[in-house]
Each structure stands twice: as structure tokens, then as C-alpha cells.
Amino acid sequence: MNKIIDSIEKLDLFGVPVNLLTNENEPKFKSKLGGLISLLVGSTSLVYFFYIMILWINNEIPPNVSAKQKTTGYSEFKWTEPLITFNLFDFSSEIDPFRKEKNIITPLLFTIIDSRIEEQPIFLFSTDENPRQFVFEEGSLILNNAYGKDEIHQEMKQYLLVFAVCSDELKINGRNCADTKEIQQYIEKDHGFLFLTIKLHQLNYITRELESFEKQYYSAFDPRRTMYSQVMLKQQETIIDDGILFDKFRHYFFLNNYEITTQPVDSDFMPSQIYFIIDNISIVENVIMPKLGQILAQIGSIVQLIFILQYLAIYYNKQLFENYLTHDIITMYYPEFKELQLNWFNQIKFNEKENSKFPKQSVNQAYKILQKGAKQKFRLNNILYEISRLQFVFQQQLGNKVFQVCHTLGGLMSENLFESLNIKESNRMVVYPFDSFEQDQNKVINIEPLELLIKQN
């Protein structure tokens, strides 16, 4: 059973090293300069830690963003608010050709399902509040080049906008055409520019909200020429991973761009028209927000860089500790050197209150020579060598029997021992007059073995 317990003891992963205490009863030697460097390094690291953590909590650290193009055979896009707006900027006339009364040009929006054009178009007119402007209020587009119609997939849906000269043959409730002369005079001249404005979106990585912006395209508006334009709406899918430790994906779909291709056609072939479709090439954007592990790694690397200053403090403490040890050893052999002290820069200085019997320059030279010898003294092999020499000296003077008996020697526990210890402990709290110290020195004091040969600071 004892062997099993001993084996378990060997498995202990939390053993502590046995350190020799310094004069201050500390396992490590410390200095004031080392304390200042520790305070500086620790406070700087702590401030940097809180600074980075605040930036991370507020999503102000730039994420890793990658984007790629994706070809798709099926896609849907639906809008329920004004998306596409047409504005006519005519510098030569104040006539509104898109008005419902005395109409000159009628915008007709046809819906194309697969390859079929629905018979009844949507009529788009300007209003009194917004003259020479008409808007696509709501609608939907479907791209389907890969699937047939089923429960999941719908047929392809596109829009065709036709600018038709007003005619009484096309019966529209509430609309009336301008007289023929006015229409003819209008279409024989150019009329500035027609602006196409489409509302697009982009994702704000910080707030996770879609931000709207508008992209405009303009072309000359000349009723005498027939133009065919194709507007390809480009979609984007943004995937955000904003998990703290593990993956947590969020998907956002929105319209982020469009392209227009325009070509002239014969007026006998078709009137001016604009074709709206979804582009089968979309953008897939992957956004990986910084995770806690990445933030801690970043903080750790910077803190490790800051802690390079620790090597300066370690070197300083090593040199200072070595000088303190050599100084103690020198004063053990030459007590008069106690008037020398070490400053923050590891340099010796004299006590100005006392006048030395020897010149300072000579003392400095002698002290440096003694330092070299003291460094040899506190080496482990030299300490063991001195103990072995003392053993042989005592063995030669006292014989081997004394060394054999010394293993059984020790202090005896008695009532006098406990009484003396209690008296010493109580005397520490008592203040005596100065005259009593000389009297106490003449008294015989029982000294316990542990108090013998302890170096006095």
C-alpha cells in the first residue's frame, strides 16, 4: 500500500521548487529598478489589453474579408419599395412627356415569363409632385436557366420597358394624348438626358445593417433615335462569421451593382426599350470577424514584445545580487567595509558622515580586488571545498570519535526552553530605557541552537 502511495506521489504535476531565502526572507532577489520596470511593463500591458478588448467588443477591429464570383442558374430578387427611378433633365423644354394628361411618351412595363410577354403592361406615369419622373414601386425578377418549374423553382421572370409614342389606339383609363402637332414637334428634337437611378445596398460590418446608396446612369434622350438597353442587376451574398469562439454564420442577400449595355437599332424594328434581367454571375463575400482566440493571440504577441524589458531588469538584478553577495562576503572578513554601500547603478559609495582612515582611491582599488576573490568564495564547489577542509582540520584535532557522536548531538527540550522563548517573544513588544541595555549585556542568556552562527544584517 505504501508503494502505491509513493507511486502516486511521483505523479504529482504541481510540485513546488525548494528555494533558499534571501536576507529579506524572499525566494527571489528583487530591486527597486526591477519593481519600476515591472510596474511600467504591467500597466502598459494592462492598458493595451483593455484597449484592444474595447475595440473588439465595438466591432472596430477590421475583419478578414474575401470575395469571389459565383455562377448560378437560379436566383430570385424581390423589392417592395421604390427601387428604379427614371428622371428626364430637359434643358430645351419644360414639357413633361410622361404626364398622364396630354401625354406624349408612354412608358410601358411588360412582364416576360419565360419567353412569353404578358398582354397587359404596367403603365408608368409621372406625377404633379415629381414631374418628368416615374418609378418602379415594387416587383420581382427571377433567373432560371437550370431548372423547370416545380414547387421550389419558378419560371424565369424579366421586365421590358418600352417608350411608346402616345396613341389613342392604346386605351388607358384616365390617360389622354396631346394633339398630334404637339407630339410631332416634341419628338423631332432631342431633350437633354434621361437618368436611370437604381438603389443599391452594402453591408455595414459593425452594425450588421444594410446601407443604401444610389448609382446613376444617364444617356441622351432623343426620340428620333431608337436605343436598346439591357440592365443586368448584380446580386451579392455576404456571409458573416461573428462567433466569439466557434463559427456562427449569418447570410445577407442584396443588390450591390448593375451594368448597362446599349446599342442603336432601327426605328422600324422596335421602339426604344430597356430590358431588366438578373445577372447569373453574383458575388459571394466571406467576412470573418476576429474571434476571442485571435484577439488574445494579438494581445499576447504585443505584450511579449513589451516584456522584452524584463531581460534588462533580470540582468540588472543579477548584477546587483552578485554585488550584494560579494559585499556581504567581504564584510565578513573585513567589517570596516560596511561603511561602503551600493547605489542603484551597482556602484559603491562611501558614507559621507564617517571619515575613512584610508584614501578613497586606494579603498576602491582594494575593494575591486576583493570582489574577484569573493566571487570565488560563494561558488558551490568552493563552499564544499571549505567544508571538507574544516572537516579534516577538526578530524585531525579531535579524532574520528567526535564526528561519529555528533550525529546524536542536539538541543534538549525543557521547561526552561519554553519559558525563555516566551520571554523573548513578549520582550519584543516592550520598550526599554537606553541605560538598561548595558545591564542586559552582563546577564547570562540561554541561547537556543538555532540562533547560533546566524549572520546579523
pLDDT, one tens digit per residue, over 42-73 is 899 999 999 999 999 998 899 999 999 989 88
Same structural domain, 234 and 341? no
Same structural domain, 275 and 256? yes
Distance in angstroms (rounded) separating the CA atoms of residues 65 and 44: 31
Give the bridge partners for 85, in sequence order: 135, 197
pLDDT band with cut points at 50, 70 and 90 for residue 456: low
The predicted pLDDT at position 239 comes to 93
Whether the pLDDT of residue 82 is over 50: the answer is yes
Grid cell of 65 as nine digits: 474579408
Domain extent, residue 424, equals 415-451
Report the mean per-residue pLDDT for the chain.
81
Same structural domain, 135 and 183? yes
Same structural domain, 175 and 264? yes
Distance in angstroms (rounded) separating the CA atoms of residues 238 and 243: 15
Q: Is 300 a member of any domain? A: no
Task: Find the length of the chain.
Answer: 457
Same structural domain, 263 and 346? no
Q: Helices in 163-256 by DSSP H: which ranges?
A: 180-187
Does the pTM surpass 0.85? The reply is no
Distance in angstroms (rounded) separating the CA atoms of residues 81 and 137: 6
Distances from the Cα of 43 to the Cαs of 36, 47, 148, 291, in angstroms?
11, 6, 67, 25
Mean pLDDT across 234-251: 91
Task: Look at residue 437 and give its three-state secondary structure.
Answer: helix
Same structural domain, 359 and 251? no
Same structural domain, 154 and 204? yes
The burial class, CB within 10 Å (0-12 / 13-18 / 19+), for 310 is middle
Of 258, 289, 320, the residue at which a domain comes to its end is 289
Any residues with CB less than 8 A from the CB of 363 and at least 6 apart, and which? 340, 350, 356
Residue tagged 427614371 (cell numbers): 86
